[in-house]
A and B are shown apart, each in its own frame.
Chain A
Amino acid sequence: MKIILHVWRQKDRNAEGKLVRYECPNVSEHMSFLEMLDVLNEDLTAKGDDPVAFEHDCREGICGCCGFVINGVAHGPMPGTTVCQLHMRHFKDGDELYLEPWRAMAFPVLKDLMVDRSAFDRIIAAGGYVSVSTGAPPDGNALPVPKSDAERAMDAAQCIGCGACVAACPNASASLFTSAKVSHLGLLPQGQPERHERALGMVRQMAIEGFGACGNIGECEAVCPKRISIENIARMHRDFLCAAFAERPHVETGGAG
């Protein structure tokens, strides 16, 4: 089949971008979306043009590298699917598709369809962990975890950090991403000691990075390739509020003697 693409081309962070039209004449229904772009890039290379830059690595929907907007929808039309796992059999001959990078102030475009998502790492660094150093922790079975808690923690922990939630949100909020980590750790006994600090640190970092606030619209959940639920956002807000009320200035208590 033949697919017409309009692809966002932007040389670098500071350049102006524009949509450029390309024709992909021999698209097989078995190709993945990225394989179609590979073929396009081979054609562009043969003509001496600059291939389209897009991010990808695992091509199995797990590393979170890939992602762009297809006709206004982050990761395209199939629910629960990253672009690397999206196959061309879901499109038809003659379709015209508009490909654009994630758009958010906190995700500056680096080139074409690639953006800088390092803000996500800084949100994790602001508390998205359990402070346990490598050493000799208690036996893995010392602390039983109810199966349902482990399952719910896992539901949240599945986030791949692709950024589709931010791209889909009219406020460019990173609430779904942040809350997935707050929930994952907050649902497990290991995460309890730092639960408040975690929520405070991560939510504040989210604001510092320039992500917007959650307006309860739910677009994030709709495009999330891992189907992370917005229930997590409610949990994050609760933890944040509790923590904000309970917050006391930190005092160093030096040991005597």
Chain B
Amino acid sequence: MNLDSRIPSGPIEKKWDNCRFDMKLVNPANKRKYTVIVVGTGLAGGSAAATLGELGYNVLCFSHQDSPRRAHSIAAQGGINAAKNYQNDGDSIYRLFYDTVKGGDFRAREANVYRLAQISVNIIDQCVAQGVPFAREYGGMLANRSFGGAQVSRTFYARGQTGQQLLLGAYQALERQIQAGSVKMFPRREMLDLIVIDGVARGVVTRDMVTGRFEATVADAVVLGTGGYGNIFYLSTNARNSNATAIWRAYKRGAAFGNPCFTQIHPTCIPVSGEYQSKLTLMSESLRNDGRIWVPLRKGDTRPPAQIPEAERDYYLERRYPSFGNLVPRDVASRNAKMVCDEGRGVGPSGFGVYLDFAGSINRLGADTIRERYGNLFEMYERITGEDPYSLPMRIYPAVHYTMGGLWVDYRLQSTIPGLFVIGEANFSDHGANRLGASALMQGLADGYFVLPYTIGDYLASSKLEKLDASHAAARQGLDGAGELTRKLLGIKGKRSVDSFHKELGKYMWEYCGMARNAKGLEHAQGKIAELRDEFWKNVNVTGGGEEINQALERAGRVADFLELGELMCLDALQRRESCGGHFREEWQTPEGEAQRDDENFSHAAAWLHQGPGKTPERLVEPLAFEYVHPSQRSYK
């Protein structure tokens, strides 16, 4: 198979216009004759379902939470980027495009990123019109902040709850369509399979999580906005129920998986406190604007922080990166924290932590200013750790946060299965090997409000789709498969809980496929994961039955998929014999210990095609051409 990215012709600023003009339109009177399935109600799925409903399509929308408002997007804190240049500080569409391509370490498709930057301005207008209460200046204009080391202020925010407010905007638009009858919502449904008929995506198999009933639903096209797979690490900042099941099962039906090893480790999270730990909490990276990061100079220095004199502290980011200091991008900050902890200089009970110290800023600006800027974050920190960050430095450590990898899609967001579209974090596009802060919300909403609704219309208008119903053999086969899998999981009745497998998998992933990777470790992890998977299918204990609410069963299905995906991530990391962005191969680093790309051999996206159980998947390659932003060594020195 060849990957056709379908990048439109013309200069970069005209590509999206050209594409829109070339696309076929669906006659308004015909739209309601088309049924589209949208799985997921996060920023991507929610905005897509609402917009498709507004356009007049017949939309069937699924999510595993009890309400569309609870999708994981709700937890995003910091903000959303847009090239509005309201601050007159030199921002532009081109600059946002440039920053994103460079921030992604030259592993994203230029045309997509440019479109994203173009659309960013429409997103803000749309959300304001919906009543999203963005922060304002005294004159009533929208406020901005600078975020994630950007040199312009282009981040729009709603206190520390930007994701919540954007998602509520999309959710309300969705509820309006539900009321109007154009969208039918199916909450508490877990997608377990994709129905593919004659090579074309035509529906999904779901499980009703209350009754346990399996349902096959057919449609003219399927959209997945099912989020990222960071939970494969067990501990991550993702919501507990975020999973890879929808995209993984689509992968097994033929959708290529793009750059699975590209994960983002966020530098500022609250460290692990014990074995019982269930998730990690992000502390917004805006804290790095006023906090200084340090560890003791000396190994094994266990004095309380206040007793360590200035001269015996190592402000390692300021030392190594004098011009960016504490504001270096996420991948760089995370890797450095790991380095100092591996040297034995980490702090806190586990030794896996570094200080984020506000003492200097509190002295300089006063505690009130700091409270005004970060009050809610300080409160959250204290609630979780029981320590007061006004008097003690915070302890932070990197944690898995986001997955740049996902199902491969072309410029029109279509996967390698015709009729299957993938949006938001679930696809692999736009962020390359490292995502910049405040860009995921932007991408989710760009895909859902402004890109997919057009491109899916072209697909529907130009495809000849036979009428179907759920009694089709492929649908029945999907139902049988899902039922079979469930019976199998319930029938093992082994000795180990689902969570114990998930935790063990997470440890391998974190150790060998986390912040730093090397060939030996990755090979070791592949073997360990394969062993663990074997044990899972012999020894997992899933209590309860299938025809009831059964949270252990839900988790078991997800962990079964993670146990396969983990191996693919290791394989992808092994094959990408270079370092780029969040993918740091220890064998490829500059003399100063920075990521060393190999543009000659790896300036491409890798997309993996499933070949059947037990077989090595095929690695397809989409070459990346950089016509506008010339690849250079990222330097933050």
Contact = CB atoms under 8 A, between A and B. Distances in A.
The yes or no verdict on A and B being binding partners is yes
Interface of A: 11-12, 28-32, 34-36, 38-39, 42, 44-46, 48-51, 53, 55-65, 81, 85, 87, 89, 110-111, 114, 116-118, 120-121, 124-126, 128-141, 143-147, 150-151, 153-154, 157-158, 160-161, 184-185, 188, 190-191
B128 A87 contact: no
A10 B241 CA distance: 23
A134 B50 contact: yes
Nearest to A135: B126
A35 B543 contact: no
B164 interface: yes
A105 to B, nearest CB: 18
B35 to A, nearest CB: 20
A57 B72 contact: yes
Interface stretch (B165-173, B587-595, B623-631): B165-173
B389 interface: no
A85 B136 contact: no
Nearest to A161: B69
Interface string B246-278: 000000000000000000000000000110111
A160 B159 CA distance: 15
B599 interface: no
B403 interface: no
A63 B158 CA distance: 16
Interface centre among B172, B274, B497 (most CB of A within 10 A): B172
B175 A147 contact: no
B25 to A, nearest CB: 15
Interface in B62-93: 65-70, 72, 74-75, 84, 86
B239 A134 contact: no
Contacts of A89: 386
A205 B449 CA distance: 29
Contact of B187 (A49, A118, A157): A118
Given A30-B273, A59-B239, A154-B133, A128 B175 contact: yes
B614 interface: no
Nearest to A123: B175
A22 B110 CA distance: 58
Given A50-B544, A53-B551, A120-B67, A134 B131 contact: no
Interface string B262-305: 00000000000110111101000000000000000000000000
A130 B164 contact: no
A151 B136 CA distance: 8
B129 A138 contact: yes
A137 B276 CA distance: 48
A239 B384 CA distance: 40
A32 B279 CA distance: 10
Given A110-B210, A140-B124, A150 B277 contact: no
Contacts of A153: 131, 133
B74 A85 contact: no
A31 B384 CA distance: 9
Interface stretch (B14-22, B138-146, B361-369, B567-575): B138-146
Interface string B135-166: 11111111000000000000000110100110
B274 A28 contact: yes
Contacts of A85: 380, 383-384
Nearest to A37: B278
Nearest to B156: A140
Contacts of A136: 122, 125
A73 B258 CA distance: 48
A62 B74 contact: yes
Nearest to A154: B133
Contacts of B552: 45, 51
Contact of B281 (A12, A60, A138, A151): A60
B240 A57 contact: yes
**B133, B136, B161, B210, most chain A CB atoms within 10 A:** B133
B176 interface: yes
Given A63-B75, A128-B172, A190-B131, A117 B210 contact: no
A38 B450 contact: no
A126 B173 CA distance: 12
B99 interface: no
A60 to B, nearest CB: 6
Given A137-B126, A147-B136, A121 B67 contact: yes
A145 B138 CA distance: 9
A171 B386 CA distance: 36
B497 A46 contact: yes
A143 B541 CA distance: 58
